[in-house]
Amino acid sequence: MSTNKKYSIKKTDKETLAKWLKLMLVGRAIDNRAPNYLKQAIGWSYHAPYAGHDGIQLAIGQIFDREHDHLFPYYRDMLTTHSAGLTAEELILNGISRDTDVAGGGRHMSNHFAKPEWNIHNVSSCTGNHTLHAVGVARAMKKYKVPGVAISSQGESSVSEGYVYEAINGASNEKLPVIFVFQDNGYGISVPKADQTANRKVANNFTGFKNLKIFHCNGKDVFDSMNTMVEAKEYVAEHEHPVIVHANCVRIHSHSNSDRHDLYRDDYELNYVNEYDPLAKFRRMLIRYERFTEAELEAIENEAKAVVKAAHKAGMNAPQPSPESIHDFVIPEPYVSEKYPDGLHQDEGDSKKLIDGLNETLKAEFRQNPDTFIWGQDVANKEKGGIFNVTKGMQQEFGKERVFNGPIAEDYIMGTANGMSRFNDKLRIVVEGAEFADYFWPAMEQFVETSHDYWRSKGQYSPNITVRLASGGYIGGGLYHSQNIEASITPLPGIRVVYPSYADDAAGLLRTSIRSKGVTLFLEPKALYNSTKVATPIPDDFEVPFGKARLRREGSDLSIITYGNTTPLCVELADKFMENGIASMDVLDLRSLSPLDNDAILATVKKTGKVLVVHEDKVFGGFGGELVALINEEAFEHLDGPVKRVGSTFTPVGFNRILEAAVLPDIERIEKAATELLNY
């Protein structure tokens, strides 16, 4: 119970009470009638009723200031968003997924209310993962020294997710202005909270966290909720660190329309949660303390009914999205290079190593754009800049506000990149997603989430992030320092995937990535960081567009299509065959895997008629399968033999060098396959 008594049944002015009541009545009316839309096959197939959370949801919305704050509601937050300003019509448009739904035109699930224009963010169905986004945007608010708070709202059971602990740990450590609201109705679908964690009040799990204040309130009570949220917001402003508000609620109905709570709740419980209906309590208080007469309340109730009726009518007349629109807003248009439209140059200066190309490009971009940031594990401590020193010297030059370490929590690194990017679209964020690509898997839920933010918000929010990962093997690193992950990433729409091999291409692609809107996965062939074989001259302003492959060798007998660590192996073989008069070969370095340079691929196929696909990753399920399929579909009649593939064996990569060599492709295997094809 809050000790703050700013609001009470006796003191709060009548106009405010009437406003609250109307919001609650409209919200509840829509909450109650939402299942009817499904019964009539109109839509709203997912509805998580909020009834029983009325007090805290009204309060969250009321303290939200759209000029300064960011709100991350969860799927039960209908009244929260209505109280924050979404109209009844906007709620219904979201519920029945119409094209004019302000959250994203019916692309995201119903009951995911949002208005990105007002910083009421379009959040995931992956419950509670927006805690990381709230932390990320709060980091930006702190760095740019603007007032306001990020408010994250979720159910108590979703606090069990590991990323919620990562988020609260990070907010506490970075002292960020975040209010984490836990709406505790005692259940995660049918799972009682006793099955989630030992404390009945999960907020108390965080009592040992430094820089964190925990408030408890009665989420069923309008005044206690209002007073607590006001106090929480003032506390964040005064102490400049995060708070948790744990609000006790009841869930009057089932979890959603796919749940039947009578299967696991007895009549006694169903009866008493009804008796503790927050709206009914508020109404009783208004009468008991003579703030309103029955006639006055009935007048407000009639107004609310009229609002809902009109909203329903408008919603039913709203347009449906068109099927053709599915291809809109998959990924934003990239930065366009005017000077290097094909990503080629004629510079003949001194050669630079790939690692230096990356380091110098990062620095150059950070010099020209003050709204750039980079973080990750291990990226900045004195003379060390990343496990491979790619970011060496950056913190010294750009300071700790822009170049800083992240905790060993990959999902936090990725999720806060998504969140920080929400601050405004000028920001360009680079993260080392993990120490090695192999350790990126914990971040996959945030990465997948980030892949469809742009689409599901109908272009209203673009995460502008370059995710750098040191990838591949050949360093004796074993199972967890050798993995290639591109075959798992390229199926995700909304992500660009690049995997350069040479220093100039790495520099040029990194510049394009950082300057572009959208998400780019930038895979770095770590075995080549310091290789002289891939060292090249690099123009200071070099740019490589996405989706532009590069012929590293030209010939007429065979095409090798490759990328990453295997490109220099293929080049070496091509040179050997040429020198020995065996064959002349095209070596096409893809550079970008998504988007893919279909034209360059088909052109080389048509030229030579024989194709060998080479990559470091496993042949089975590897990206090469997509290339073979493309060639088969688009250039079958030009082939003079089967498209063959060389890659890793279908095994993990062993640590012992003998095992590693047995797994990874080498020049002998490529030569053998190339020879077979030439002789076909």
Q: Would you tell me which residues interact with another protein (CB under 8 A)? A: 1, 8-10, 184, 199-201, 204, 216, 218, 221, 248, 250, 275-276, 281, 284-285, 288-289
> What's the min distance (Å) between Cβ of 248 and another protein?
5
| Cβ closest to another protein, residue 9 vs residue 662 | 9
Residue 147: count of CB within 10 angstroms of its CB? 11
Whether 615 is a known active-site residue: answer no
In terms of DSSP bridges, do strands 644-648 and 611-618 run parallel, antiparallel, or are they unpaired?
parallel
| Cβ closest to another protein, residue 9 vs residue 639 | 9
Provide the sign of the torsion angle of the four alpha carbons 397, 398, 399, 403, taken in this order.
negative
CA atoms within 13 A on the CB side of 69: 21
Contact indicator for 664, 616 with CB cutoff of 8 Å: yes
Torsion angle of C-alpha atoms 632, 634, 640, 643, degrees rounded to 10: -40
Measured distance CA(425)–CA(427) in Å, rounded: 5
Q: Which residues of 445-483 are buried (b: 16+ CB within 10 A; e: fewer)?
A: bbbbbbbbbbbbbbebbbbbbbbbbbbbbbebbbeebbb
**Cis ω for the linkage preceding 595 (within 30 of 0):** yes
| Cβ closest to another protein, residue 216 vs residue 618 | 216
Measured distance CA(363)–CA(369) in Å, rounded: 10
Q: Which residues of 489-499 are buried (b: 16+ CB within 10 A; e: fewer)?
A: bbebebbbbbb
Measured distance CA(167)–CA(622) in Å, rounded: 34
> What's the min distance (Å) between Cβ of 285 and another protein?
6
Measured distance CA(284)–CA(543) in Å, rounded: 68
| Cβ closest to another protein, residue 194 vs residue 316 | 194
> What's the min distance (Å) between Cβ of 33 and another protein?
26
> What's the min distance (Å) between Cβ of 289 and another protein?
6
| Cβ closest to another protein, residue 216 vs residue 511 | 216
| Cβ closest to another protein, residue 218 vs residue 536 | 218
Provide the sign of the torsion angle of the four alpha carbons 399, 401, 406, 412, taken in this order.
negative
> What's the min distance (Å) between Cβ of 405 and another protein?
37
Measured distance CA(181)–CA(397) in Å, rounded: 38
239, 481, 615, 638: the active-site residue: 481
> What's the min distance (Å) between Cβ of 277 and another protein?
10
Measured distance CA(69)–CA(521) in Å, rounded: 30
> What's the min distance (Å) between Cβ of 231 and another protein?
18
- β-bridge mates for residue 521, sequence order: 467, 497
Contact indicator for 596, 547 with CB cutoff of 8 Å: yes
| Cβ closest to another protein, residue 217 vs residue 663 | 217
The residues that are catalytic are 481
